Each structure stands twice: as structure tokens, then as C-alpha cells.
Structure 1
Amino acid sequence: MGKTPLHLAVTGPSSVVASWILEKDLGLIRIEDVLGRTPLHYCASAANFDLLLKQGASVNHVDKRGMAALHGVCYLGASDLVACLLKWKPRLDLRDKTYGTPLHCGVISGSIDVVMALVEKGAPLNAADANGNTAVHVAAKLGRHNILRLLIQQGADISLQNTNGRDPEAIALDAAGNVGILSILKHKRQDSPESQSILNIVDEDTKASSLDNQVTGNDSPDFLWDEDSMGAAEQNELMGLSQSANDDLYTYEEQQEYCSTTFPKPAPESQSNNGFGKAAFCLPR
């Protein structure tokens, strides 16, 4: 089944339309679309999150790829929506097939506020994605200096290897030799930081060669979400971001027809209070 009117209504900032739809058919709150996502996955405001959760939506519902609503808002770096969902005590160890846990998604977004919020609620620091990468690996890959420092301060293990046998330092070397990340990692490794300059990192070819040898002959990509393994269109599709305006219009017309035949039209004041018209039913781009 495709998206219901509720899936589309919650993509706006107001909860007026979604509330009206739920009054007519509360069962829509549990309907999944073709990706296995309930309306909660598509909420774009705290008002709609709270509305659906108060009406019985499951905060831990995952789609066919294992992604919960929390993954999505963490990936987008939406700290206000993350804070809203965390009030409902979601599981922080849920791992989807592509990105990993919500913490992985938060690191990808680059939002230190999101990462801090997850860590404060007990997100597992050393949880691995499908390829064995921890949040530290992701920070090393993307050059998230402040996030890496935060993870280390909170006790994240920087020595863990992924399924290709690579630790975060090896990942950082591949990421255009990220000296800042390498400095942070080396500083953490040193028993006596003052005894050696943290900037003297990869002067010897043997050092880089040694780290490169962590690859066990498996040429598979370290991350399932990066440019080497997934295009932007596929990433956006996974996160529910529409690529085609025509698809949106078709979906909207289809759901408008469903609304008109299933529910009576709302009172004029309800329409005017919403103020979003067609936009309230459009997917975010």
C-alpha cells in the first residue's frame, strides 16, 4: 500500500490536518507504506510527533531496512526533533541496514547537539553498523573533529576495527590524510602526549603502509552510504526525501481522491487554521 493522507499530512509544521484525519480514522496511524514506514517516519515537526505518539504510534517501529523515525531526524541533524523523540524513550541501539544506529546518523549529520543528546541518553558508543564501523569510524571518515573529541571524552573505543580490518586511524588516512583527525586519535593513543609532537603523524612511509595493510584483501567499501557505494538519489530515497515533483503531484492527487471519497470535507475554519493548503500534503524535498 502507498502513502495514506496521514503520511502526507504530518510532513507539514502544523498538526491540524493530521489531528483531523486521526479523528476520522485512528487506524491510519499504524499503516505502512511500501517502504514499511508508518506516518511517524515522515513527521517534520514536534507537534506532529507528539500528536502521533500520544495517539499510540510506536516510537520504535522500523521500516523494511531497520530504520526508525529517530534515525531520520538524527541524519538530518534536527536537534529539536531529536529532543522531542528522546522524551518518548526510544531504543538507541536499533541498527538499520545502511547507516547503523541513530548515533551513526547523528555523526553523519555533523550536529554535535544531536550527538550530545544521544550520548546523554545512553546511546551505545561502540555499536557497529553492518560493516563493523563505530561512530568513531564515521567521525574519522567525515572529519568531524569536535564530535570525535566528544566521543573520546565519553569513553568511545578508538581501536576497534571494521569488517575490512580497519580502525579509525586507517579510515582517516584514506580520507585525504585528515591530519586533524589523525592528531586527535594519536593524542588519545599516546601514554605520554608531551613526549612526542602530535603533529608528527605520518612522516614515515612505513606508518602509512602498516595501516594500509589492515585491509584484509576485501575490496568492499567501508561504508554503505558513501559516494563509493551509494548515489545521492538512493540516499535521499532511503531517508524519504522526494526526487520527483511529478511523483509528488501524482501522490497528492491520488490521496486527495482518497480523502474526498473516504472522509467528509473539513469545516472551512479548519482549512483556514491550517494555512498550508496543498503544501501540507507534499513530501519534503
Structure 2
Amino acid sequence: MSHSNLQLCQLAYDGNIGHIQKLLAENNDLLHKRDQDGRTALHWAASAGNVDITKLLLSHNAKVNVMDDSEWTALMIATSAGRKEVVSVLLNEGADVNSVNRTGQCALHYAASKDHYDIAVFLIENGAHTTVGDWVNATPLHRAASKGLLKMVQLLLINRADVHYTDTEGNSALHVACQDDALDIAKLLIEHGADIHKQNKEKKTPLDYVKPVSRNTLVNAYNSCQIPT
């Protein structure tokens, strides 16, 4: 690891564009060098939300989809950090919106779990799949439901997130919402077809997780959504 490479990564994070231009004029290959975690200057610029430096690095042919040692791309990092403008730049430069890291998570997982709503909209508009299971088969919908993020859940459902998708424990997003007694989210999921009788691997339905006082509310919501035969 050269001093210049570490310096470039630090400058990209700190936002010193003039010094970066000087280093790249001397050796443009520094763009592709990595730090001890496999991150390039682009990863660091994305992390800090430095839009102009992100644009500069890309204009010098930085690889937009390069992964670090944990298989994080700059897009994942910018999304997780809530760097909306950087996300927009990366997407416009061809960032792979559906790339997954070592834990099987894509950028939308991070937007959903951290309530970065506008970024989630960007990602979906640029082709993000709303139903992608990570290493425990949890989807962005699971993540949003587990955090009690009603507006995010609405966004995902409007964009065809699968309410029936289950994680490795057999839990649907409705199971997750009920575990936290998030009734507004649970009712919304039911309105989009979630099954209150679906059992997970412990043979428990979503109703088994809610407080007794809440069960009738969900049963009534479910019954009102059923089509008479």
C-alpha cells in the first residue's frame, strides 16, 4: 500500500479536490488502487458524500462498480450513508443497482432499513428489484417492516414487493411486523394480500406474535379483504 494511495483515499473523503487533481495528474492509476479494506478513492468519496470528487474520479475512469473486500460498491456505501446526490451521480454513470455484497444485500436493502426514502425511489426508478433475499433471505420489505417504516413499506408494495416471500426462518414481512406489534404496517401488508394464517418454521402465524388486544383488528382487516365465494 503506497503512501500516495492512502493519501488519495483520505483526500477523497476529506474533499480536497485540488490535491486530488494534482495526484491524478502525476499518476492516474491511483484511481484503481485499494486501501487495507479493498476500498478505492471512489468508495471514500461516496461515503463522505463528496459529489464533485465523485464526478472527478468517474471522469478519470474510476470503475463505478468496483467492490471492496466485503463486496460493497460505492452505490451501496452512498445509499447506506444517505448520500442522495452521490447516489444520483453513480446511477447516471451506470452503477449496478442490483449488485449484492457478501451478505447478499443490495443498495435497496440499506435504503429500506435506514429510511432513506428518496434514495429508495431513485433506486427503484433505476431498476432496483424490490424482492431480493439476503443471506437470511430477508428482503427490503422485511427490513422496512422490522423498522416500522410505514411509508417505505408502502413504496415497496406499490412497486410489487412480494408479501409472501419468507426468510430462512419462514417469516414473511407480516410476521416481522406483528413481532413488533406494528399494526399499521401489518394492516397494509394484509391489504396487499399477506396471509395471517401462514406458518413459519416454528409453526407460528403472524397472529401468534401480536398482543391479544390487536388480534381482532388484524382478523377483521384480513376478513374485509377476502373475496366472497
TM-score by length of 2: 0.75
Read off the aligned partner of 1:49 and give its amino acid letter: V
Equivalences for 1:185-264 in 2 at 5 Å? 185-188=218-221
Paired residues of 1:140 and 1:181 also in contact (CA < 8 A): no
1:87 aligned residue (114, 121, 125): 125
2:215 aligned residue (145, 161, 182): 182
Read off the aligned partner of 2:181 and give its amino acid letter: G
Give the drift of 1:138.
0.5
Let me know the Cα RMSD of the aligned residues: 1.8
Give the drift of 1:180.
4.8
1:53 paired to 2:53: no
Give the drift of 1:118.
0.6
Read off the aligned partner of 2:74 and give its amino acid letter: P
Aligned to 2:17: none
Give the drift of 1:95.
0.1
Aligned to 1:96: 134
2:175 aligned residue (121, 137, 142): 137
Whole-angstrom distance in 2 between the partners of 1:32 and 1:72: 16
Equivalences for 1:58-69 in 2 at 5 Å? 58-69=96-107
Aligned length: 185
2:75 aligned residue (29, 40, 49): 40
Read off the aligned partner of 2:219 and give its amino acid letter: K
Give the drift of 1:64.
1.2
Give the unaligned 5+ runs of structure 1. 173-177, 192-285
1:15 aligned residue (51, 63, 81): 51
Q: Deviations over 1:35-79 (max 9, x none)?
A: 111111111222111211111111000011110000001001121
Give the percent of matched residue pairs that are identical in Structure 1 and Structure 2.
Answer: 27
Distance 1:181 1:42, change over 3 A: farther
Distance 1:139 1:181, change over 3 A: farther
Aligned to 1:6: 42
Read off the aligned partner of 1:18 and give its amino acid letter: T
Read off the aligned partner of 1:23 and give its amino acid letter: S
Distance 1:151 1:189, change over 3 A: closer
Distance 1:181 1:68, change over 3 A: farther
> SS of the counterpart of 1:159?
coil
Q: Deviations over 1:195-218 (max 9, x none)?
A: xxxxxxxxxxxxxxxxxxxxxxxx
TM-score by length of 1: 0.61
Read off the aligned partner of 2:121 and give its amino acid letter: A
Give the drift of 1:181.
3.6
> Which one has more relative contact order, counting CA pairs under 8 Å at least 6 apart?
1
Give the drift of 1:14.
4.3
1:160 aligned residue (195, 198, 210): 198
Give the drift of 1:119.
0.6
Whole-angstrom distance in 2 between the partners of 1:97 and 1:90: 18
Whole-angstrom distance in 1 between the partners of 2:223 and 2:189: 17
Paired residues of 1:99 and 1:105 also in contact (CA < 8 A): no
Moved more, 48-57 or 117-126: 48-57
Aligned to 2:21: none
Q: Deviations over 1:227-264 (max 9, x none)?
A: xxxxxxxxxxxxxxxxxxxxxxxxxxxxxxxxxxxxxx
Whole-angstrom distance in 1 between the partners of 2:49 and 2:161: 28
Paired residues of 1:131 and 1:162 also in contact (CA < 8 A): yes
Q: Deviations over 1:106-165 (max 9, x none)?
A: 112211111111111111111111211101000001121111111111221111111221
Whole-angstrom distance in 1 between the partners of 2:172 and 2:60: 44
Aligned to 2:159: 121
Read off the aligned partner of 1:2 and give its amino acid letter: G
Give the unaligned 5+ runs of structure 2. 1-36, 225-229
> SS of the counterpart of 2:47?
coil
Give the drift of 1:187.
2.4
Whole-angstrom distance in 1 between the partners of 2:189 and 2:163: 7
